[in-house]
C-alpha cells in the first residue's frame, strides 16, 4: 500500500493542471474533475484508517536509500497521526467542493476557483505527509499561496484588503519558519525530521534549540492564528467565499499550523517543561480572549472567525497539558487523556465550525448580507439551514449529546485530574460564554420577528445536502467518547505523540 501514498499529492495537482486546460473546452468539467479527485482522496484516506494496521509506512521518492546512515531521499511518512489528519483534510475538501457546486455560480472565474482549491488540498496533504523540513516549507507555501488567492477571490475592496493583510503576516511567518529551519540545518547538517530528532536527543546547545523552538512557535502560531498571532484571521475568514472559510477554519489553520507544531515538538524536539508551559499559556489565552472578542461581533462570519481562535485554544490546551505531564515524567495515561481530548476537539471543530461557515454562506447566498441586525425570521423560510445551524451552535457550545460536549469534557477532566484547576474553570466559563454568543446568532438570524422584506427560500440541494450530512456528523462523532471507538480512531494518533522517540526509530530503522 506504500505505493499509493504519493497519490495524495499527485491527484489534486493533476486535477489543478487539468481544470484550466480542459475546463475552457467543456462546461462543468472543473466541478466534475474536482469532486471526482476529492472523492478518490476521501476513499483513499478511509482505506488507510479502516484497513491498515496503523504501522508507519515510509515512501522514499526515487527509491534512494540512506548513505552511511544519512537519509538522502525525500521521505513521505504515513503514520497514525498523518492518517488522522488526512481524513479531516479530505473529508472537508470533498464536502466544501460539493457545497461549492451551486454556491460558486454567483462568482466569475469558476475554473480558477477549483484550480486553486485543488492546489490548496495538494499542499495540505503534502504538509501532513512530508518527513523533512524543506519539503514541509515547500508544501506550506503551496497551501498559503492558494489560500491568499482564494481569500481575494471576490476581488472586492474588502476581499483584497483581507488577502493583503493575510499575505503580509503570512510572509512574516514564513520568514521566521525558514530562518528556524536554517538554524536547525546549520546545527544538525540534515533536514530529515527523524534524523534531526536523533541528533537533538544528545544535544547540549540548549539555547540555539530553544531559540529555534520560539521561532517556530511564532511562525506556525501565525499560520494557526492563535493568540497573539491572530490579526489576519477575522478579515480573511469573513471575506473568503464560505466554502473556503470552512476550509480555512476547519483544515488550513490545523494542518498548516497546529499539526506541524505538534509533530515537531513531540517527534523532533525533546519535550521541554518551559515550552509546554508556553504552549499551554498560548492555548489558554486564545481560548479566553477569542470568545470575548467574538461575543460583541455583529458580522456573522467575523463572529465565527473569532470563535475559531477560541476553539483552537481548547485543542492547544489539551495537547499542552499532555506535554507538561510528559515533561514532568508524570502519568502517561493522564497525558494520553489530555492529548486525546485535544485531538478529539480538533476533529470536532473541523465539523461544527465548517458547518457554521457553510450555514453563514447559505444565509449570505439568500439575503446578500452577513449583518445579524439585518436578518430575522429565517426559521420558517430556511428550515434546513436553521436546524443544521442550531445543531452546530449546540455542538460548539458544548451541549450534550453533540460532539463538542464530549471533547470539552475530556479536556476538563484531564485538567482536573492533573490538578490544573484554574484551566478547568476557564474552559467551563468559556463554554458558557460561547453558548451566549450562539444564542445571539440563533435569535437574530432565525427567530427575530423583523424578517427582511424580500423573497426568501432555502438554498439549492447541493448546499443543503452537505449541511445535513455535517449536522449528522455533529451527533455521530459523539460516539468517539466510547472507549473502543476512541481507541480505534484517536488512540493510534495519540500514541504517535506519546511515544516521542519512536518516530525516529521507526523511520530510520535504528
The stretch 435-463 carries a mean pLDDT of 81
Domain that holds residue 419: 2-508
Quick check: 38 pLDDT over 90? yes
Residue 339 has a pLDDT of 93
Average pLDDT, the chain: 88
Give the model's pLDDT for residue 277. 92
Burial 250-269 (b: 16+ CB within 10 A, else e): bbbbbbbbbbbbbbbbbbbb
Q: Which pLDDT does position 428 carry in this prediction?
A: 94
454 pLDDT band, cuts 50/70/90, is low
Report pLDDT for 210: 87
Nearest to 407 by CA among 365, 349, 368, 357: 349
pLDDT for 332-372, tens place per residue? 899 999 999 999 999 999 999 999 999 999 998 888 888 88
Model pLDDT for residues 285-310, shown as the tens digit of each residue:
999 999 999 888 888 888 999 999 99
pLDDT confidence of residue 203: 72
Q: What is the structure's pLDDT at 286?
A: 92
Tens-place pLDDT, residues 6-26: 899 999 999 999 998 888 888
235-278 pLDDT per residue, tens: 888 888 889 989 988 899 988 889 999 999 998 888 888 899 99
Q: Please, which pLDDT band fits residue 49 given cuts at 50, 70 and 90? A: confident
Distance CA 400, CA 150 (A): 35
Lookup: cell for 88: 479531516
pLDDT for 68 equals 62
SS3 breakdown of the chain: % helix, strand, coil, rounded to 5? 75, 5, 20
Tell me: the pLDDT tens digits for 195-211? 888 888 877 767 888 89
pLDDT band at 456 (very low <50, low <70, confident <90, very high): confident
User: What's the pLDDT at 215?
Assistant: 92
Q: What is the pLDDT of residues 367-390, one digit of tens each?
A: 888 888 888 778 878 889 999 999
One-letter-per-residue 3-state SS of 412-446: HHHHHHCCCHHHHHHHHHHHHHHHHHHHHHHHHHH
Q: How many domains does the chain have?
A: 1
Share of the chain above pLDDT 90, in %: 45
Element (H, E) at 75: strand 74-78
| 273-295 vs 300-327: helix crossing angle, rounded to 10 | 160
What per-residue confidence (pLDDT) applies to 42?
Answer: 93
The span from the CA of 107 to the CA of 109, in Å, is 7
pLDDT at 451: 59
Q: Looking at the whole model, is its pTM more than 0.75?
A: yes
The pLDDT of residue 131 is 86
Q: Which whole number is the average pLDDT over 409-434?
A: 93
Amino acid at each position: 500500500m506504500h505505493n499509493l501514498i504519493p497519490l495524495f499529492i499527485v491527484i489534486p495537482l493533476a486535477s489543478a493542471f487539468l481544470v484550466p486546460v480542459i475546463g475552457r473546452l467543456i462546461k462543468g468539467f472543473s466541478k466534475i474533475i474536482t469532486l471526482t479527485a476529492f472523492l478518490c482522496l476521501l476513499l483513499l484516506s478511509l482505506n488507510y484508517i479502516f484497513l491498515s494496521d496503523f504501522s508507519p509506512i515510509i515512501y522514499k521518492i526515487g527509491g534512494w536509500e540512506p548513505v552511511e546512515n544519512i537519509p538522502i531521499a525525500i521521505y513521505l511518512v504515513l503514520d497514525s497521526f498523518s492518517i488522522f489528519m488526512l481524513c479531516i483534510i479530505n473529508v472537508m475538501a470533498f464536502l466544501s467542493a460539493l457545497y461549492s457546486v451551486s454556491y460558486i455560480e454567483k462568482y466569475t472565474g469558476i475554473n480558477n476557483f477549483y484550480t486553486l482549491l485543488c492546489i490548496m488540498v495538494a499542499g495540505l496533504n503534502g504538509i501532513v505527509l512530508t518527513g523533512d523540513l524543506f519539503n514541509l516549507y515547500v508544501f506550506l507555501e503551496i497551501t498559503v499561496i492558494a489560500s491568499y488567492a482564494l481569500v481575494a477571490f471576490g476581488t472586492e475592496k474588502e476581499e483584497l484588503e483581507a488577502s493583503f493583510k493575510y499575505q503580509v503576516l503570512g510572509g512574516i511567518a514564513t520568514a521566521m519558519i525558514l530562518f528556524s529551519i536554517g538554524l536547525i540545518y546549520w546545527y544538525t547538517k540534515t533536514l530529515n525530521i527523524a534524523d534531526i530528532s536523533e541528533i537533538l536527543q544528545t544535544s547540549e546547545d540548549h539555547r540555539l534549540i530553544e531559540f529555534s523552538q520560539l521561532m517556530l512557535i511564532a511562525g506556525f502560531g501565525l499560520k494557526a492564528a492563535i493568540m497573539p498571532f491572530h490579526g489576519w484571521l477575522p478579515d480573511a475568514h469573513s471575506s473568503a467565499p464560505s466554502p473556503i472559510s470552512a476550509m480555512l477554519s476547519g483544515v488550513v489553520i490545523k494542518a498548516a499550523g497546529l499539526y506541524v507544531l505538534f509533530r515537531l515538538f513531540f517527534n523532533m524536539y525533546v519535550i521541554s517543561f518551559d515550552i509546554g508551559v508556553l504552549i499551554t499559556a498560548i492555548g489558554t489565552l486564545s481560548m479566553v480572549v477569542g470568545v470575548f472578542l467574538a461575543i460583541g461581533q455583529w458580522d456573522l462570519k467575523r463572529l465565527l472567525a473569532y470563535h475559531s481562535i477560541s476553539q483552537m485554544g481548547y485543542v492547544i490546551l489539551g495537547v499542552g497539558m499532555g506535554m507538561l505531564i510528559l515533561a514532568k515524567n508524570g502519568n502517561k495515561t493522564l497525558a494520553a487523556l489530555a492529548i486525546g481530548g485535544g485531538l478529539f476537539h480538533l476533529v470536532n471543530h473541523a465539523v461544527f465550525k465548517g458547518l457554521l461557515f457553510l450555514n453563514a454562506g447559505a444565509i449570505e447566498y439568500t439575503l446578500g448580507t452577513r449583518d445579524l441586525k439585518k436578518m430575522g425570521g429565517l426559521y420558517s423560510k430556511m428550515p434546513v439551514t436553521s436546524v443544521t445551524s442550531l445543531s452546530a451552535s449546540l455542538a460548539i457550545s458544548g451541549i450534550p449529546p453533540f460532539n463538542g460536549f464530549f471533547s470539552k469534557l475530556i479536556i476538563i477532566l484531564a485538567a482536573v485530574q492533573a490538578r490544573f484547576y484554574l484551566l478547568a474553570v476557564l474552559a467551563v466559563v468559556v463554554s458558557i460564554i460561547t453558548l451566549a454568543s450562539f444564542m445571539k446568532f440563533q435569535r437574530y438570524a432565525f427567530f427575530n420577528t423583523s424578517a427582511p422584506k424580500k423573497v426568501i427560500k432555502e438554498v439549492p440541494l447541493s448546499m443543503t445536502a452537505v449541511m445535513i450530512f455535517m449536522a449528522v456528523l455533529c451527533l455521530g462523532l459523539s460516539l468517539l467518547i466510547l472507549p473502543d471507538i476512541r481507541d480505534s480512531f484517536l488512540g493510534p494518533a495519540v500514541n504517535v505523540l506519546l511515544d516521542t522517540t519512536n518516530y525516529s526509530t521507526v523511520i530510520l530503522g535504528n
